[in-house]
A and B are shown apart, each in its own frame.
Chain A
Amino acid sequence: MILLAFLAQTLRIAIPYLLAAAGGVISERSGLIALTLEGYMLGGAFTAVWASYYSGSPWAGVAAAVAGGAVLALIYAVSAIRFRADQVVAGIAINLFAIGLTRYLLRLFFDSSSNSPRVAGFTVQGSGTGFGALLVNPLVWLGILVIPATAWLLYRTPFGLRVRAVGEHPTAAASVGVPVARVRYLAVLLSGMLAGLGGAYLALDQHQFTDGMTAGRGFIALAATIFGRWDPVRAGLACLLFAAAETLQIQLQGSQALPSQFVEMIPYVLTIVALAGVVGRAVAPAALGKTAIE
């Protein structure tokens, strides 16, 4: 039973990572650094709460989160692709913008500096943390299915072939008539929508928006993207690994065996170890981050 609870908790934590990392893989395979996942998630979390508060329906929240992530992604795409801004600088700007904007809107709509009122979610509050409560949430299913769907999109469809081509050798793709910029716009928009969904899951699971509630999850998803060597399935496994480490940390928190500070470090230490062990061998998409100099 303890194992089952552990797995349920791991899956619950992994869902936003899976959604955002799927977006991260698509964006980075097209050549656009996905530093912005954090911002997309935060934006998605806010718009999800906003829409479901005013409509009373969590589905409206999901749709709004997709739109919110897409809008932030569009800003990033326009600055990096159209205006050839440095992707790291533009990415940091998008993340800071998302923090400031959600804080402002929180004050504007809900007159609070810390959190929104409670909203309806897909789960009834207090229905437990086991698999039963988890699997009634459609976003959980989405998070599970997003990995095979992304693999299918990338490896089996013409769009996926083009995404991989423009991220690796954009001039070659252009020379055979592939519209490089358009493919990249679509890839970035898709990553914004997916990360926005990750944000919606977070917010609806907690039935409210709190200031800065993504707390670095977008960066963990980016780490999973890289640790997974830009492959959806491996990135998905990396998400599960990071989520398992976090679960472990939560379960060890009550014990006196280890100082709590060390316990809290576990997921982050694991992330660093995982990345250090793999980054030397991992080969990034060749054109990643290079929209500025084409």
Chain B
Amino acid sequence: MPDNSALAIRLRDIVKSFGPVQANRGAELEVAHGEIHALVGENGAGKSTLMRVLAGMYSPDSGTMEVDGRDVTGWSTADAIAAGVGMVHQHFMLVPTLTVAENVMLGSELTRGPVLDRAAAEEAVRKLSAETGLAVPPAARVADLTVGQAQRVEILKTLYRGAKILILDEPTAVLSPPEVRELWQVCRSIRDAGGTIVLITHKLDEVIDVSETITVMRAGKTVARMATAGTTPQAIARAMVGRDVALALDAEYMGTPLLPELGAVSALLEVRDLVVHGANGQPVVKSATFSIAPGEILGIAGVEGNGQTELVEAIAGLRPYTGSIALASRDLATLNVRARGDAGLSHIPEDRHERALILDYTVAENLILGQQHRFTRGAALDTPRMLDHARELITRYDIRPDNPSLAARALSGGNQQKIVVAREMARDFKVLLAAQPTRGVDVGAIEFIHARLREARDQGKAVLLVSADLAEVLALADRVAVMYGGRIVALLPRSGATPDTLGPYMTGAERAA
């Protein structure tokens, strides 16, 4: 343990509640100057809350905070920024209608007399870009940037404010492999220049890759602190969950795909020449053709925003399309969302808040969304049957807390996702669309959801898995397709797919199919 004066951050016994939910209950964090420190833990373990406390967004109910040896308990965001603490949030804190330069200077505006000095702000962005290698167009509107660029803006924003302690909350969730490598380079150069970085992440390989020290949180408390050198992903996962976890990324795990002979069995899902147009009238899915056999998981890899969302939503019946989509040889063209569901289509949408859940509805209500017509008595909802249904799924899918009358909002992200998975997999289905099924979900829940997806495959269902996490696609899929620029640019058997073979397709450097 380094002596206290050398610590950049020292949080002791932090307690923070939101109504009845205790997000932090005695959390501790000690980070030395000039290190990359990984903060890991399951969803709902309280990592983001703790870091928001550190960044001054929340005031702790009790506990003490020190930065650079100074007591800063309960400071404001403005204080934190002034002291050089900057946070890059998981959901970007950028105003989409403003330009890059405006976002960067917001709150610490550059002026010439009473007027904003745009030119100086853009110059400052250019200078920071040159220093860090984080290239962004300073005069572009943030809404027009890619997610990767938007994240660069977030980092530049904190550096512009003179951040010496940088908090990154799940920074790689939205990045492609080359962008992730670039990010680590930037992190290392910030550290080498004397900066301190706290990295919140779920991805244990990242922790091993870039961090020097690890703090593990579970259920609002700090449960372990270790040096990265000499630990293993398994040890970290055990500390996070409190038990052993089968890591999908384990080298020894290869699964037991049935891999039916294509053509021998008729496909459950058949998509031909599918074209989907985006909001601006341009095609965003350009003539996609593929099929999925019973007992097969087709994984779609690719950087987000290459048409995956529109592909899945077209199949689900949420977007108009041309071309044909058939489920068990039945054309879906004339069927609406509910009829598609009745025909045997289940859909785990990629954005659980936007599409999958109504956060102010109860768990029981969310568990019948889209199937409410099956839970009626006369004109009214059959509440007792709804609750029975909910209790059964809560037990079977281990949704916590186990209270069907709680609003979905009150659950952690991982448990919200379990609601969606439970609802879509408990119904009678033939084809499952699973879009980013484990996004923002902790390792315990990932393991569980992966097991359910394999189970569906083993029961002879067809699964379309779309994931921005290449490791997830490789862990689950029997065949791997890559989408780039709205096209399926590669379609490979699992055995031929590795990060190295897929990388060039994901970045558009190569195309095969």
Which residues does A use to contact B, with CB under 8 Å?
Answer: 156-158, 160-162, 164-165, 168-169, 171-178, 286
Indicate if B461 sits at the interface (CB-CB under 8 A). no
Q: Is the CB of B89 within 8 A of A168?
A: no
Report the minimal beta-carbon distance from B17 to chain A, rounded to whole angstroms.
Answer: 18
Indicate if B281 sits at the interface (CB-CB under 8 A). no
Cβ contacts under 8 Å, B89 to chain A: 175
Indicate if B488 sits at the interface (CB-CB under 8 A). no
Q: Is the CB of B111 within 8 A of A169?
A: no
3 A-B pairs closest in CB distance: A176-B107, A177-B78, A172-B93
Q: A169-B93, A176-B106, A177-B81 are in contact. List 20 more A-B contacts (CB 8 A).
A: A156-B116, A161-B116, A164-B98, A165-B98, A165-B106, A168-B95, A168-B97, A168-B98, A169-B94, A169-B95, A172-B94, A172-B106, A173-B95, A173-B107, A175-B57, A176-B77, A176-B81, A176-B108, A176-B157, A286-B96
Interface residues of B in 64-98 (CB under 8 A from A): 76-78, 81, 87, 89, 92-98
Cβ contacts under 8 Å, A173 to chain B: 95, 106-107
**From B97, which residue of chain A is reached at the shortest CB distance?**
A168
Report the minimal beta-carbon distance from B84 to chain A, rounded to whole angstroms.
Answer: 13
Cβ contacts under 8 Å, B95 to chain A: 164-165, 168-169, 172-173
**From A176, which residue of chain B is reached at the shortest CB distance?**
B107
Report the minimal beta-carbon distance from A173 to chain B, rounded to whole angstroms.
Answer: 7
Indicate if B424 sits at the interface (CB-CB under 8 A). no
A122 to B129, CA, bound (A): 57
Cβ contacts under 8 Å, B92 to chain A: 172
Q: Is the CB of B107 within 8 A of A177?
A: yes
User: Which of B81, B89, B97 has most chain A Cβ within 10 Å?
Assistant: B97
Interface residues of B in 90-123 (CB under 8 A from A): 92-98, 102-103, 105-109, 111, 114-116
A161 to B118, CA, bound (A): 11
22 pairs, A vs B, C-beta closer than 8 Å: A157-B115, A158-B111, A161-B106, A161-B116, A162-B106, A162-B107, A168-B95, A168-B96, A169-B93, A169-B96, A172-B94, A172-B103, A173-B106, A174-B57, A175-B55, A175-B57, A176-B77, A176-B161, A177-B81, A178-B107, A286-B96, A286-B97
Report the minimal beta-carbon distance from A67 to chain B, rounded to whole angstroms.
Answer: 25
A162 to B116, CA, bound (A): 11
User: Which of A156, A162, A175, A178 has most chain B Cβ within 10 Å?
Assistant: A175
A171 to B87, CA, bound (A): 13
Cβ contacts under 8 Å, B78 to chain A: 177
A172 to B106, CA, bound (A): 10
Cβ contacts under 8 Å, A286 to chain B: 96-97
Q: Is the CB of A157 within 8 A of B93?
A: no
**From A171, which residue of chain B is reached at the shortest CB distance?**
B93
User: Which of B92, B107, B109 has most chain A Cβ within 10 Å?
Assistant: B107
Cβ contacts under 8 Å, A174 to chain B: 57, 77
Report the count of interface residues on B (CB-CB < 8 A): 28
Report the minimal beta-carbon distance from B90 to chain A, rounded to whole angstroms.
Answer: 12
Cβ contacts under 8 Å, B114 to chain A: 157
Report the minimal beta-carbon distance from A232 to chain B, rounded to whole angstroms.
Answer: 15
Q: Is the CB of B115 within 8 A of A175?
A: no
A176 to B98, CA, bound (A): 14
A176 to B87, CA, bound (A): 9
Report the minimal beta-carbon distance from A281 to chain B, rounded to whole angstroms.
Answer: 11
A282 to B263, CA, bound (A): 50
Report the minimal beta-carbon distance from B44 to chain A, rounded to whole angstroms.
Answer: 20
A36 to B443, CA, bound (A): 51
Cβ contacts under 8 Å, B76 to chain A: 177
Cβ contacts under 8 Å, B116 to chain A: 156-158, 160-161
Cβ contacts under 8 Å, A161 to chain B: 98, 102, 105-106, 109, 116
A157 to B77, CA, bound (A): 22
Q: Is the CB of B115 within 8 A of A156?
A: yes
Report the minimal beta-carbon distance from B120 to chain A, rounded to whole angstroms.
Answer: 13
A173 to B161, CA, bound (A): 14
Cβ contacts under 8 Å, A169 to chain B: 93-96
Cβ contacts under 8 Å, B57 to chain A: 174-175
A179 to B469, CA, bound (A): 37
A82 to B232, CA, bound (A): 50
Q: Is the CB of A176 within 8 A of B93?
A: yes
Cβ contacts under 8 Å, A156 to chain B: 115-116
**From A179, which residue of chain B is reached at the shortest CB distance?**
B78
Q: Is the CB of A164 within 8 A of B97?
A: yes
Cβ contacts under 8 Å, A178 to chain B: 106-107
Cβ contacts under 8 Å, A162 to chain B: 106-107
A175 to B91, CA, bound (A): 12
Q: Is the CB of B111 within 8 A of A175?
A: no
User: Which of B76, B77, B81 has most chain A Cβ within 10 Å?
Assistant: B77
Cβ contacts under 8 Å, A164 to chain B: 95, 97-98
Cβ contacts under 8 Å, A171 to chain B: 93
Cβ contacts under 8 Å, B87 to chain A: 175
With A164-B95, A165-B98 as given contacts, are A177 and B115 in contact (CB-CB < 8 Å)?
Answer: no
Cβ contacts under 8 Å, B103 to chain A: 172
